[in-house]
Structure formats: structure tokens, C-alpha cells
């Protein structure tokens, strides 16, 4: 387990900033409970610093995971967020989309969010911005990228795509053999 390089940190923060904006500081600057980012086998973990220090005594081959897996670096060096990061992204999300009950299952089966399924959307959400998808009772279901801005969504027909799915909690069942 090692700290992130400057390039890796930049790519991680670019991806996180797309979803939580300047709230990244809330992930890092926690005076009572400091956390850090660590890399193990191309996966990035968000872990408490005290636990990260203790993990240095464990052999690299014996250490499987530590903390919360935020995502992984692909072979080309891009960073891909995983569904396991949803709790941290949802608590600091800047833009949100709430899905009606009839749209929850299609989203959890891996489909995009349609206009007919949107219950609410955050005001002034720009196009191609990262959003967290919630059910109407404020349960985070996943995250994605908006296809249109808030003002354009209001004028769309019901079958138009509002948000492209990036990840959802249904992945735990669909990809259970390859997720971890």
C-alpha cells in the first residue's frame, strides 16, 4: 500500500470534483478524524490515517483491502469510480437527481435515467455534470452524468435521456464476481 503519486492524485481529484465540487476538502481536512488516500493493486482506498499507519506492518501480498475502495486506475491511467464510493460521494454531492419509484428498477438494472422517471433535479445543474441519483425517499441509488442541463430537461419529451448511468447499487448483484 502506497500513497498516490502527483499524477494519480490529480486524476482522482478531477473525477471527484465532477461529482462533489469543492467539497473535496471535506474528505481530506477532517481535524478530528484525518483520512488519506492509498493505492493497492491499482485500486484507490479512502482510509483513516491511523489504520493506514498500522497497515504498513502487513506484508503487501497479504493485504487485500483497507478502508473504502473509491475506484481503480485503468491500464491507460484513467480513474474509474466504483459503486463502493457512493456513500462518500452522496454525502457531499453538489448536484442530485431524484428518481420516481417507477424509475428505480430500470436504473438499478443498468439503464440510464429517462425524463419520465425524474421526480426532481437540482437547480442550475449544467450539462455533462456528475450527479448522484436518489430515490424519492433520499436513498442514494448510484451516480452518473447529466445528458442535459436542468432548463433543457424541463422541455424534453418523456423518453429522452436525462442522466447517463455511471454506476449503481445493482452492480453488487450483477457484477458480484468481478467487483472486488
Exposed (0-12), middle (13-18) or buried (19+): which is 12, by Cβ within 10 Å? buried
Tens digit of each residue's pLDDT (9 = 90 or more) over 124-158: 999 999 999 999 999 999 999 999 999 999 999 99
Residue whose entry in the numeric block shows the C-alpha cell 462533489: 20
Q: What is the structure's pLDDT at 177?
A: 65
For the chain, residues classed under CATH 2.30.130.10 are: 95-173
Say how far apart CA 20 and CA 93 lie, in whole Å: 5
pTM for this predicted structure? 0.87
Provide CATH 3.10.450.220 ranges for the chain.
Answer: 2-88
Of 10, 129, 175, 144, which Cα lies nearest the Cα of 77?
10
In CATH, the number for domain 2-88 is 3.10.450.220
CATH number corresponding to 95-173: 2.30.130.10
Amino acid at each position: 500500500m502506497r500513497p498516490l503519486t502527483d499524477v494519480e492524485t490529480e486524476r482522482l481529484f478531477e473525477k471527484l470534483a465532477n461529482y462533489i465540487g469543492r467539497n473535496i476538502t471535506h474528505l481530506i481536512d477532517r481535524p478530528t478524524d484525518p483520512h488519506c488516500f492509498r493505492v493497492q493493486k491499482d485500486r484507490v482506498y479512502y482510509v483513516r490515517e491511523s489504520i493506514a499507519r498500522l497497515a504498513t506492518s502487513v506484508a503487501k501480498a497479504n493485504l487485500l483491502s483497507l478502508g473504502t475502495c473509491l475506484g481503480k486506475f485503468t491500464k491507460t491511467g484513467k480513474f474509474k469510480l466504483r459503486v463502493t464510493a457512493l456513500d462518500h460521494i452522496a454525502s457531499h454531492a453538489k448536484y442530485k437527481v431524484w428518481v420516481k419509484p417507477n424509475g428505480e428498477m430500470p436504473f438499478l438494472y443498468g439503464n440510464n435515467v429517462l425524463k419520465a422517471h425524474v421526480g426532481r433535479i437540482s437547480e442550475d445543474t449544467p450539462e455533462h455534470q456528475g450527479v448522484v441519483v436518489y430515490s424519492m425517499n433520499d436513498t442514494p441509488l448510484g451516480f452518473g452524468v447529466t445528458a442535459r442541463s436542468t432548463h433543457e430537461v424541463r422541455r424534453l419529451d418523456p423518453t429522452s435521456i436525462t442522466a447517463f448511468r455511471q454506476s449503481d447499487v445493482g452492480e453488487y448483484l450483477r457484477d458480484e464476481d468481478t467487483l472486488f
